[in-house]
Amino acid sequence: MTTRPLPTADDTRAFGEALAAELRAGDLVILTGGLGAGKTTLTQGVAAGLGVRGPITSPTFVIARIHPSLGQGPALVHADAYRLGGIAELDDLDLDTSLEDSVTVVEWGHGVADELSDDRLEIVLRADPETEVRTAQIIGHGDRWKAGVSC
């Protein structure tokens, strides 16, 4: 587990772009954090790094969006579990059918999307209430992430 400061939205996007360089098809990233913590901003950086078709906006009302690759890399599946009642409703989205071929990012996925893969990266975004500076706590699960991330 590592913690990284993200003082600005640009820093959050840059972290997402750097993270994308470490991601490959089949990877699951779960983003946790309060409203306005930077989950979608981080995903915008991942999308830029993967080179997928955008725009990347919060999927809250559509639940999931697929962003195809503009090159040879994997597509990005961007989902939001905020309005879902649990793993059964997430299963109804059939995310596991595209999991092997895409990078999947699930906002609000803690406790819901964990069962999609034993190998997953969880990023907890927090803002200091006094300074409003954000941090990202990066937690790797499974063999794929036991060495952590280098970005």
pLDDT tens by residue, 121-133: 999 999 888 887 8
The model carries a pTM of: 0.87
pLDDT at residue 88 greater than cutoff 60: no
Inter-residue contact 113 to 28 (CB < 8 Å): yes
Inter-residue contact 35 to 12 (CB < 8 Å): no
pLDDT tens by residue, 8-62: 999 999 999 999 999 999 999 999 998 888 999 999 999 999 999 988 887 665 5
**Residue 111 to residue 84: CA distance in whole angstroms:** 11
Q: Which domains does the chain have, with CATH numbers?
A: 2-142 (3.40.50.300)
**Residue 119 to residue 115: CA distance in whole angstroms:** 10
How many of the other CB atoms lie within 10 Å of CB of 70? Answer: 12
Half-sphere exposure of 69 (CA within 13 A, CB side): 14
What six digits make up the tokens of 119?
A: 């190998």
